Amino acid sequence: MRVTLGVTGCIAAYKAVEVMRGLQKSGASVQVVMTRNAANFVGPLTFQAISGLPVITEMFEPTADPEIKHIQIAQATDLLLVAPATANALAKFANGIADDFLSTLYISTTAPVLVAPAMNVEMWAHPATRDNVRRLRERGVEFVDPGEGYLACRTVGAGRLAAPEDIVGRALAMLGRNEIARMPEAGAIESDMAGERVLITAGPTYEAIDPVRGLTNRSSGRMGYALAEAALARGAYVTLVTGPVSLAPPAGARVSNVKSAADMCAAVMDDLADATIVVMAAAVADFRPISVAEQKIKKTGSGLMIELEQTEDILAAIVRAKHSQVVVGFAAETEDVTENARKKLLEKGADLIVANDVSSQDSGFDVETNRIILVSQEDVVEMPLMAKREAAERVLDAAMKIKRDALSPAAAQ
Ligand code: CTP
């Protein structure tokens, strides 16, 4: 479910943050588009940090992406939700005026449109606004009407933005109707992970030494991204916490970009409670410099000692804090792969360890294939060489089996 959330300039703009969170919690990925005036009320960075996607504020921003952005978004969205919508936004939509990104998007999209107006009582009651609302309704635009209450202009009356939970409810109802209309023949799609909330980490971490140097590793992020794509295709809601990689984010995932092990740990802990399955595919740095030099370290003619300390063991922290989630760890090994993976399963308390020999040419870093060994309390299953996407499917199969067995232990016998 992909929602484009248009935010226009009025005092209620801050409530759009709650609307966005509500949509995300229900499994939607949210692309935010703000008008220039909206950016005066809430900073685009607030939305960006929570949605994990860059916020669009300008129509003609030079970008490396050759696609025409408003057409790309217009076609990719399942619902255009404008909350709050000002009188000006309604007037533009009603008259087909396309003088900024949001109004251009409105006339470019064929997706259903839901509007939650917010304005002063006189503006809402003005014949021009009434006329615009009527024309938009006639065209199929749906409204979550404003409520009555104390308004920012110190008057009481209709014009207050509807409650964020009501807006989210209406948006989900519209998305649901749409999904049913587009649903292929029963059984045509494998959605055995619908309802699962999968938290995946991917890529390396980067531990700064000074402003231009740092410690990192060779992880490309391919395995974690393949896991995210596979889980999305199977109907799961996916949060991907990723270190710096050069891969395109999987469409539909909520992406949180992080750098260091500490950032990754914080992002994972933030989302842990909501998750049902956690897969730690990231190659987290085990050590970081004790202190980061504020300026670039200069050569002095002799060597340089950098004192390192251990980073937080995120997997261990997850296991300490988790409730019923199935937790999957990876074991990047260069020798005694199965034995070391068994040890990690016990030491870290994970439900499953996916082991691979990273010294091998075809299953290590930065290649498209992997040869994995799935180590759980019950079994050790050695898989043949396969594409990382295929390996991802097998990891998810194993995690789902552990979940099912935990729910009905008798069936596992
Ligand atoms: N991991 C983690 N936090 C760390 C280091 C690793 O959560 N600071 C996770 C990795 O994402 C992986 C698992 O722990 O899922 C095992 O990582 P690996 O690098 O193979 O092992 P380490 O725990 O670092 O142990 P060692 O390097 O001693 O083998």
Supply the CATH number for residue 302's domain. Answer: 3.40.50.10300
Give the Å distance between the CA of 355 and the centre of ligand 1.
Answer: 11
Q: Does one domain contain both 162 and 116? A: yes
Contact predicate 171/142, CB 8 Å? no
Give the Å distance between the CA of 253 and the centre of ligand 1.
Answer: 24
Q: Is residue 273 part of a domain?
A: yes
Which of 330, 342, 356, 373, when mutated, tests ligand 1's pocket best, judged by the most ligand atoms within 8 Å of its CB? 330
CA 261 from centroid of its chain's CA atoms: 19
Tokens of 176: 């649901």
Give the model confidence (pLDDT) of 40-79 as tens digits.
999 999 998 887 778 998 876 655 454 556 777 888 889 9
Residue 181 is predicted with a pLDDT of 46
Q: Is residue 184 part of a domain?
A: no
Contact predicate 137/143, CB 8 Å? yes
The mean per-residue pLDDT over the stretch 87-113 comes to 95
Give the Å distance between the CA of 87 and the centre of ligand 1.
Answer: 54
Q: Does one domain contain both 148 and 233? A: no
Give the model confidence (pLDDT) of 15-29 as tens digits.
999 999 988 887 788
Nearest CA to ligand 1 atom 12: 330
Q: Does one domain contain both 174 and 208? A: no
Peptide bond into 44 cis (omega under 30): no
Give the Å distance between the CA of 124 and the centre of ligand 1.
Answer: 57
Which of 286, 318, 320, 357, when mutated, tests ligand 1's pocket best, judged by the most ligand atoms within 8 Å of its CB? 286
| Mean pLDDT (the chain, rounded) | 89
Residue 367 is predicted with a pLDDT of 79
Nearest CA to ligand 1 atom 17: 331
Catalytic residue at 265?
no
Question: Of 147, 178, 209, which closes a domain?
Answer: 178
Residue 152 is predicted with a pLDDT of 65
Q: Is residue 321 part of a domain?
A: yes
Give the Å distance between the CA of 63 and the centre of ligand 1.
Answer: 37
Distance between CA atoms of residues 78 and 56, nearest Å:
17
Q: Which of 45, 125, 128, 153 is catalytic?
A: 153
Q: Count CB-CB contacts under 10 A for residue 219.
A: 25
Closest atom of ligand 1 to 315 CA is 7
Neighbouring residues of 128: CB distance < 8 A, sequence distance ≥ 6: 87, 91
Residue 242: pLDDT band (50, 70, 90) is: very high
Instruction: Calculate the alpha carbon distances from 323 to 274, 303, 344 in Å.
Output: 10, 48, 20
Nearest CA to ligand 1 atom 9: 315
Q: Is residue 183 part of a domain?
A: no
Residue 369 is predicted with a pLDDT of 86
Ligand 1: residues with CB < 6 A are 261, 280, 282, 284, 286, 311, 313-315, 329-332, 344
Closest atom of ligand 1 to 316 CA is 7
Distance between CA atoms of residues 178 and 200, nearest Å:
28
Closest atom of ligand 1 to 340 CA is 29
Instruction: Calculate the alpha carbon distances from 67 to 63, 64, 70, 75 in Å.
Output: 9, 9, 9, 12
Q: Does one domain contain both 114 and 211? A: no
Closest CA to 178 of 114, 241, 118: 114
Contact predicate 226/389, CB 8 Å? yes
The mean per-residue pLDDT over the stretch 103-112 comes to 94
Distance between CA atoms of residues 384 and 405, nearest Å:
25
Q: Write phi, then psi, for 293 (nearest 5 degrees).
A: -65, 135
Residue 185: pLDDT over 70: no
Nearest CA to ligand 1 atom 18: 331
Of 190 and 122, the structure prediction assigns the larger pLDDT to 122
Closest CA to 126 of 88, 98, 100: 88
Give the model confidence (pLDDT) of 356-365 as tens digits.
988 887 777 7
Number of structural domains, the chain? 2
Of 295 and 147, the structure prediction assigns the larger pLDDT to 295
Question: Of 178, 210, 240, which closes a domain?
Answer: 178
Closest CA to 254 of 13, 8, 25: 25
Q: Does one domain contain both 174 and 200? A: no
Closest atom of ligand 1 to 353 CA is 15
Q: Are strands 287-289 and 308-310 parallel, antiparallel or unpaired?
A: antiparallel
Nearest CA to ligand 1 atom 16: 331
Instruction: Give the residue numbers spanning the domain of 371.
Output: 193-412
Q: Does one domain contain both 343 and 385? A: yes
Q: Does one domain contain both 220 and 245? A: yes
CA dihedral angle for residue 242, residue 247, residue 249, residue 251, rounded to 10 degrees: -140
Contact predicate 236/193, CB 8 Å? yes
Give the Å distance between the CA of 378 and the centre of ligand 1.
Answer: 22
Residue 178 is predicted with a pLDDT of 55
Distance between CA atoms of residues 101 and 61, nearest Å:
10
Residue 2: DSSP 8-state = E
CA 256 from centroid of its chain's CA atoms: 6
Give the Å distance between the CA of 221 and the centre of ligand 1.
Answer: 15
Residue 182 is predicted with a pLDDT of 47
Q: Write phi, then psi, for 369 (nearest 5 degrees).
A: -115, 165
Residue 187 is predicted with a pLDDT of 42
For residue 240, what are the β-bridge partners?
200, 255
Percent of the chain with pLDDT over 90: 64
Residue 107: pLDDT over 90: yes
